[in-house]
Amino acid sequence: MAADGGVGMTRAMPVPSVPGGRAPAETFGLSGRIGVEREGFSLDVALDVEPGEVVGVLGPNGAGKSTLLRAICGLVPLTHGRIMLGDAVLDDPEADVMMPVNRRGIGVVFQEYRLFEHVSVLDNVAFGPRSSGSSRAAARLVAHPWLDRLGLADLAQRKPSQLSGGQAQRVALARALACNPMALLLDEPLAALDASTRLEVRSELRDHLRDFAGPTIVVTHDAIDALVLADRIVVIEDGLITQQGQALEVARRPATDYVARLLGLNLLRGHAIDGEVTVDGGGLLHVADRSVFGGVLVAIRPNAILLHADRPDGSARNVWTGTVDGIEVIGDRVRVTVVGPPTVMVDVTSGAIAELHLARGDRVWLSAKATELEVYRG
């Protein structure tokens, strides 16, 4: 009981920030190596997030994304490594230091929002200031501008159960921001929304994250969310980083099959010599970039590949043949899987499918320009 975090009076609270973009007096980067070892699960990730930077953590279910966030905010203790916020140690198992969750000053927006169902939207947002010792009236005074800022002023008296998904998400964000956190963590912030509201909330969220002066980490398994929200992307698979880089870089040059699949790209592995790539598993592709040698990856957008009934005479330097294996309708396009070698996904219009009378097992010709093939060291 002695380890109780107390009523929060001891925590040095910065002056409540004025919503509207004024940053806290000082901002710190979040850095460290997050190691969590559990039975049948292991996470070992080095992270360094600058103030104002938004890092998107992308990964499949069970990769350890949520554990990463829980470790950073203090809900899961590290088994090895160290987490720092500026010069302050948040967790260091070797030095036996672990700052309790409620003293870390790290705002979290949880996937299911976790709003307090028993109080109003206003008091949800006022909860943080109130926990740090403010009176009810003073806490509400801090909360109001955040409600205004996130467009929640009209909903202040509602209970969380009366909110739509998008509104609840904004309340969760306002609640976290009203604590004037040093860093912000978001766990699948858009996963609980339906497709139509998602688009709108996503761009709103991007604007709010831009206004936040501290380091931000957004965990998601959706590539678009990560690309829209984050400046930099870290891909985690099986508890380890498999790729990281600027969002655009990752989108153009995926390093693993998982990322390529998320982005809907064809990813082929091969060996390059002087502009020619011998694809693992068969096939030869011509690429425009002759400077890359050795083991390479080739990324091809499915709509950069053309489908033909007969051998094409065009100028495309890559021409090969294959068998149709799958036909899947995606929105207004049709994705055709053609078994090569090399085997690729091709996007065509539904009109083209009708014209070609495509069916499973048909023999087709494929063509792609060398300049459409992104080749890079794998």
Smallest distance, another protein to C-beta of residue 90, A = 13
Residue among 51, 47, 22 at smallest CA distance from 214:
51
111: left (phi over 0), alpha (psi -120 to 50) or beta: alpha
Of residues 140 and 232, the one with the C-beta less far from another protein: 140
If binding is defined by CB under 8 A, does position 11 make contact with another protein? yes
Peptide bond connecting 341 to the previous residue in cis, omega within 30 degrees of 0: yes
Smallest distance, another protein to C-beta of residue 36, A = 16
Smallest distance, another protein to C-beta of residue 129, A = 8
Of 7, 273, 284, 329, the one binding another protein by CB under 8 A: 7
Which tokens belong to 315?
Answer: 């100028």
Smallest distance, another protein to C-beta of residue 218, A = 16
Q: Counting beta carbons within 10 angstroms of the beta carbon of residue 119, is it exposed (0 to 12), middle (13 to 18) or buried (19 or more)?
A: middle
Enumerate residues 175-194 that contact another protein by CB under 8 A: 175-176, 179
Element (H, E) at 278: strand 276-279
Smallest distance, another protein to C-beta of residue 102, A = 5
Q: Counting beta carbons within 10 angstroms of the beta carbon of residue 108, is it exposed (0 to 12), middle (13 to 18) or buried (19 or more)?
A: buried
Q: How many residues bind another protein (CB under 8 A)?
A: 35
Question: What are the φ and ψ backbone dihedral angles of 220, each rounded to 5 degrees?
Answer: -155, 160
Of residues 112 and 257, the one with the C-beta less far from another protein: 112
Of residues 123 and 225, the one with the C-beta less far from another protein: 123
Smallest distance, another protein to C-beta of residue 125, A = 10
Smallest distance, another protein to C-beta of residue 6, A = 5
Residue among 356, 13, 346 at smallest CA distance from 179:
13
Stretch that binds another protein, among 4-12, 15-23, 211-219, 252-260 (CB under 8 A): 4-12
Half-sphere exposure for 23 (CA within 13 Å, toward CB): 15
Of residues 103 and 333, the one with the C-beta less far from another protein: 103
If binding is defined by CB under 8 A, does position 149 make contact with another protein? no
Of residues 65 and 301, the one with the C-beta less far from another protein: 65
Residue in the structure block whose two tokens are 């539904």: 350
Which tokens belong to 33?
Answer: 């190596």
Whether 31 and 187 have beta carbons less than 8 Å apart is answered as no
Of residues 115 and 316, the one with the C-beta less far from another protein: 115
If binding is defined by CB under 8 A, does position 144 make contact with another protein? no
Residue 320, classed as helix, strand or coil, is: strand
Give residues with Cβ within 8 angstroms of 61, minimum separation 6: 221
Site string for another protein, 94-133 (x = CB under 8 A): ------xxxxxxxxx-x-x-xxxxxx-------xx-xxx-
Question: What are the φ and ψ backbone dihedral angles of 166, each rounded to 5 degrees?
Answer: -65, -40
Enumerate residues 30-89 that contact another protein by CB under 8 A: 73-75
Smallest distance, another protein to C-beta of residue 261, A = 30
Residue among 364, 102, 57 at smallest CA distance from 230:
57
Q: Note the residues at the interface with another protein (CB under 8 A).
A: 4-8, 11, 13, 73-75, 100-108, 110, 112, 114-119, 127-128, 130-132, 175-176, 179
